[in-house]
């Protein structure tokens, strides 16, 4: 039987992902809440409120998806791209509990949209690509779906329905400041829990309908409520089930993999003639990292030595 978490728990689960399964319903999921991590990511650029909000949603969605990777060295990359939208590029990725994200947009065109613009207003016609890179097997899988729906959560649900054929529910929520966000992902595996082969998938399976209806009762405010522990929230949603298994917590941090050593290694692979063309008047090859808003000046003489 499931039991209610102790009320003595005072952790707000900021910057954590918690996995769970409901064995009796063949369902699994992840729940995430982000705080200081978002502060670090958003502080790299002076994003206007609508852009900060959509990036917070994207990073939260990336945390939900990345936390499902079984390969600790694996990487998940989420990318939304358009040719004629206010946002022409949004990218976030996850590796080993580290998250980063960046948005490129047109400030002049953004000034003409409402405070809470729709997904279509920001992106126009575009696509959502989700890429899974497995470190152990060196396999890569990518799914691409049209960037459609009222928000990123609906676009992600379309991804799972079309690319993965897994019944899924995704909810994302950001508080008024844009610096606290939460999300939940619930999925159904009709032939059993994780680890068993899925022989068939029915989007209207009665077990899934039951789980979906319960999960849909979650409120946006509950996802970003710092005073509501995530395990308590899971109990609220599914306490009538025979069993809820709460899996180990995954701590999440802001992580950008740029460094002088890495960038110097990449540039050193270019032919000497091309490196010479990259040098500025001060004798440096300057490389910008948009994720962390840092510039890395690499000396040509250092490369040659």
* Helices vs strands, H then E, count in the chain: 11, 13
Q: What is the CATH number of the domain that holds 166?
A: 3.55.30.10
| Across 284-296, average pLDDT | 71
Closest CA to 81 of 124, 34, 46: 124
- Dump pLDDT digits (tens) for 21-70: 999 999 999 999 999 999 999 988 889 999 999 999 999 999 999 998 88
Q: Is 202 part of any domain?
A: yes
DSSP string, 19-65: EEEEGGGTEEEEEEEESHHHHHHHHTTT--HHHHHHHHHHHHHHHHH
pTM for the full model? 0.84
> What is the pLDDT, as a whole number, of residue 7?
41
My answer on whether 92 and 239 are in the same domain is yes
Beta strand extents in 125-207 (DSSP E only): 126-133, 140-146, 168-174, 181-188
Whole domain around residue 199: which residue ranges? 16-254
- Dump pLDDT digits (tens) for 113-154: 877 888 888 998 889 999 998 877 778 888 898 898 889 999
Q: Is 166 part of any domain?
A: yes
My answer on whether 154 and 181 are in the same domain is yes
Q: Is 1 part of any domain?
A: no
Please identify which residue in the block is written with the tokens 């960046």. Answer: 102
Q: Is 49 part of any domain?
A: yes
Helix (H, G, I), strand (E, B) or coil at 227: coil
Query: Structurally, how many domains does the chain consist of?
Result: 2
- Dump pLDDT digits (tens) for 87-108: 999 999 999 999 999 999 999 9
Higher pLDDT among residues 173 and 201, named by residue: 173
Is pLDDT of 247 > 50? yes
């Amino acid at each position: 039987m499931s039991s209610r978490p102790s009320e003595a728990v005072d952790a707000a689960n900021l910057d954590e992902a918690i996995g769970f399964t409901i064995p009796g319903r063949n369902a699994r999921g992840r729940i995430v809440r982000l705080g200081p991590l978002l502060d670090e990511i958003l502080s790299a650029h002076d994003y206007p409120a609508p852009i900060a909000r959509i990036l917070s949603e994207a990073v939260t969605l990336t945390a939900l998806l990345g936390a499902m990777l079984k390969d600790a060295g694996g990487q998940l990359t989420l990318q939304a791209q358009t040719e004629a939208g206010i946002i022409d590029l949004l990218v976030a990725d996850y590796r080993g509990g580290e998250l980063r994200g960046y948005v490129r947009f047109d400030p002049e065109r953004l000034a003409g949209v409402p405070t809470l613009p729709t997904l279509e207003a920001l992106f126009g016609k575009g696509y959502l690509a989700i890429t899974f890179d497995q470190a152990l097997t060196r396999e890569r899988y990518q799914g691409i779906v049209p960037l459609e729906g009222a928000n990123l959560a609906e676009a992600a649900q379309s991804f799972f329905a079309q690319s993965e054929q897994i019944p899924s529910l995704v909810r994302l929520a950001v508080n008024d400041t844009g610096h606290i966000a939460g999300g939940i992902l619930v999925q159904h595996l009709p032939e059993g829990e994780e680890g068993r082969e899925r022989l068939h998938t029915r989007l209207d399976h009665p077990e899934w309908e039951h789980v979906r209806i319960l999960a849909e009762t979650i409120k946006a405010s509950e996802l970003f409520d710092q005073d509501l522990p995530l395990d308590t929230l899971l109990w609220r949603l599914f306490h009538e089930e025979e069993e809820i298994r709460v899996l180990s917590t995954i701590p999440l941090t802001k992580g950008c993999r740029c460094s002088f050593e890495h960038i110097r290694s990449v540039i050193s692979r270019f032919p000497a003639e091309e490196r010479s063309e990259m040098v500025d008047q001060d004798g440096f090859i300057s490389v910008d990292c948009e994720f962390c808003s840092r510039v890395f000046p690499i000396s040509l003489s250092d490369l040659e030595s």
